[in-house]
Structure 1
Amino acid sequence: MNLVGVSTSIEQGFRVRGLRSATAELLMVPELGGRIISLRSLKSGREWCWHQPRPDWLWRNAAGDTFGDSPQAGIDECVPTVAACRVLERELPDHGEVWFQSWHLEAEALARQELAASLRLAITPFTFRRAIRVGEDGAFIFDYALTNGGDQPEPYLWSFHPLLTLEPGDRLELPAEVRSLRLDGGLGTAIARGDVWAYPEPFPGLRLDAGEVPGMPGGCVKGFAGPLEIGRGAIRNEQTGDRLELRWDAADVPFLGLWINRGHGGFHHLALEPCTGAPDSLLEAMESWHQYRVVPPGETVRWSISLSMT
């Protein structure tokens, strides 16, 4: 049996709940939007979750805050949009409606050694649920449900939003079908929204799979691959052998967002972002890219992702 159990600790005054398998540990702060602040290999000690290099790297946010004013640490959930936009006469906030809310874990799930919470969204008629458990193979399984409590079909985007550490020797491993990325922005020379770049080498000598972007140091880029046939993405360190892998059903979650930051804001991190549509703005996904999902009235959609560390 891989599951060791649920733990409780304190980080900067915030209560932290953890799950541990035989080889890895996950820590989350329910009060801070269910933020996952640590993914650590128990074999090598590698910490995969990025946070700012300051002692007070966690703090509360409120509705109306921009994501740039958040801790930006580790993993957030973005739903029903990533970029702020106006859809169906509603002003949808930056990075969605759940990352700044306080989550309350379900006692019944804790008894099953799962970290689960449901949230009613304030602007859209959705209820969002995430449950994290340890699978038989030792991977962390994230089970999701999104329920439309309204009487009309509701469009949405969901994106996993992990800011991950970058270390020398790290390399991206994406399915062979990923041969290009459609850009949704960035900073640096040769970056323009809507451009399509070859992957992994959009320009001679520049390797996205090595975490390189134009304009280093200081550049960043966001792009999307998909719709995909295979839901998989990984980071492997060629020097240490450490590896983090995400797997999901591409029929449910057909896109992968890729964010690489090599100095913007003074930060260096990357993100592999399984997502149900593209780009980051639900409005643009509906009106321009035509890549989004809809929940019929009164119905629930479900999906899962698997996260493993070896």
Structure 2
Amino acid sequence: MTIKVLNLTHCKAHGFEAILLKNSELAITVIPQLGAKVTSIVSLKHNREWLAHDKQITLKITKSNDFSEHDSGGWDECFPGISSQLYEHIPNKTYFSHDHGELWCQAWKITNTHISDEEIILSLQAEVFDSTFTFIRTFTLKKHSKRLLVDYYVKNNTTHNLPFVWSAHPIFAIKPEMRILINNKHMEFKVDEGLSRFYNVNSAFINWSECSTKVPPLNKVMPYNSSFASKIFSKHLNTGTHKDQSIIVKLVDDKAQQSCGFEFSSTNISHLGLWFNYNGWSANEQLPPFVLGIEPCIGSNDSLHKAMASEEEGLIKGNAHKSWHMSFFVN
């Protein structure tokens, strides 16, 4: 009897119709109706769930587009901005972009499901601002692979050059003492208010190699109830001596000898964001979670306006498209 290694099945998750992609190493659950949210990534070899899920929050279809009702963990996509603000870049039109963008608060359309003896492909599509943008994310899972390939395609359906910020928004389940490894030790991050206050840092940027000298070190997950919360963005990754680099950022559990992370090229993904929340911040009246966000992104800020002010936003020309890709891996 032949055991099928690759499976793409329709199932239920959190009370919603979901899609499960599975090979011998990974099981990934996606809910199209909830912004194509990835609610689960399980490393089958270790039976380990890598994504966080806040049990205080019940996933539901939002009526107010309030992200705090949806912020249970998992992996969302943020576009065309992360913070809420007006989008005024189309002549004679103004749209309001909600907190964490326009993708999480709508149902996505399944545009392609393909399964062969060698790979599974799942493509989902969303429209933004009355089809100003068409946003497509494609997952490819190959037989016996420990990597989920992620491809993005965004079409500008207007004649105008349009700016954007994009961020993958995966929230990871963590434990104290886990490490955050980045293959570029010289990567510099913009110091935000949370980081400045916690460490009494007065500089505008901090080098990742310096983070190991802090007390407690920033490149190691802090103890529970550390009350630390900070969102930091790297400097542009594709400048100077670091052009065309392969960026690897990894979350490591040394005790279990397990890890997961992302690999991407600085050629098409320009920044890296890190969201530390060690019981330090809550968007609602619930207890603050203990989680980590590792967020490959295009743009240097949650705010599109601020990213544009520093000339570090993404741009799609009129009637053109932009593509980028990355991979998520487990070990």
- Matched to 1:96, the amino acid is G
The one of 195, 203, 222 aligned to 2:204: 195
Deviations 1:144-196 (CA, angstroms, capped at 9, x unpaired): 10000011100011101001011244111102344431034438534789832
Question: 5 Å matches for 1:75-90?
Answer: 75-88=75-88, 89-90=94-95
- TM-superposed CA distance for 1:22, in Å, is 1.3
8 A Cα contact 2:260 2:328, kept in partner: yes
Please state if 1:237 is matched with 2:253: yes
Moved more, 167-176 or 30-39: 167-176
Report how many aligned residue pairs link the two structures: 305
8 A Cα contact 2:55 2:72, kept in partner: no
Q: Name the TM-score, length of structure 2 as normaliser.
A: 0.84
- Rate the CA distance shift 1:178–1:270 in 2: closer, same or farther, 3 A: farther
Question: 5 Å matches for 1:59-208?
Answer: 59-62=60-63, 64-88=64-88, 89-106=94-111, 108-110=112-114, 113-122=120-129, 125-135=132-142, 137-186=145-194, 189-190=198-199, 195-202=204-211, 204-208=214-218
Name the one with the larger strand percent: 2
SS, match of residue 283 in structure 1: helix
- TM-superposed CA distance for 1:65, in Å, is 2.0
The alignment-based identity, stated in percent, is 22
SS, match of residue 307 in structure 1: strand
SS, match of residue 219 in structure 2: helix
Which of the pair has more CA radius of gyration?
2
- TM-superposed CA distance for 1:216, in Å, is 5.2
Deviations 1:53-111 (CA, angstroms, capped at 9, x unpaired): 34x6321114x5232222432000001101112232432211111111011212x4245
Moved more, 191-200 or 254-263: 191-200
8 A Cα contact 1:200 1:208, kept in partner: no
SS, match of residue 306 in structure 2: helix
- Rate the CA distance shift 1:178–1:21 in 2: closer, same or farther, 3 A: farther
- Rate the CA distance shift 1:304–1:161 in 2: closer, same or farther, 3 A: same
The one of 196, 199, 221 aligned to 1:211: 221
SS, match of residue 19 in structure 2: strand
- Rate the CA distance shift 1:38–1:164 in 2: closer, same or farther, 3 A: same
Q: Which runs of 5+ in 2 are unaligned?
A: 89-93, 238-244, 283-287
- TM-superposed CA distance for 1:305, in Å, is 1.1
Which residue in the other structure is 1:281 paired with? 303
Deviations 1:202-261 (CA, angstroms, capped at 9, x unpaired): 464221111239x95222000011322332211111111111021112110011001110
Which residue in the other structure is 2:240 paired with? none
- TM-superposed CA distance for 1:291, in Å, is 0.5
Which residue in the other structure is 2:315 paired with? 294
Deviations 1:20-67 (CA, angstroms, capped at 9, x unpaired): 12111111111100000001110111111101134x6321114x5232
Which residue in the other structure is 1:17 paired with? 19
CA RMSD of aligned residues (A): 2.5
Q: For the residues of structure 1 that align with 2:202 and 2:312, how far apart are their CA atoms?
A: 16
- Matched to 2:171, the amino acid is L
- TM-superposed CA distance for 1:201, in Å, is 4.2
Q: For the residues of structure 2 that align with 1:110 and 1:186, how far apart are their CA atoms?
A: 44
- Matched to 2:300, the amino acid is A
Please state if 1:272 is matched with 2:294: yes
Q: For the residues of structure 1 that align with 2:109 and 2:202, how far apart are their CA atoms?
A: 38
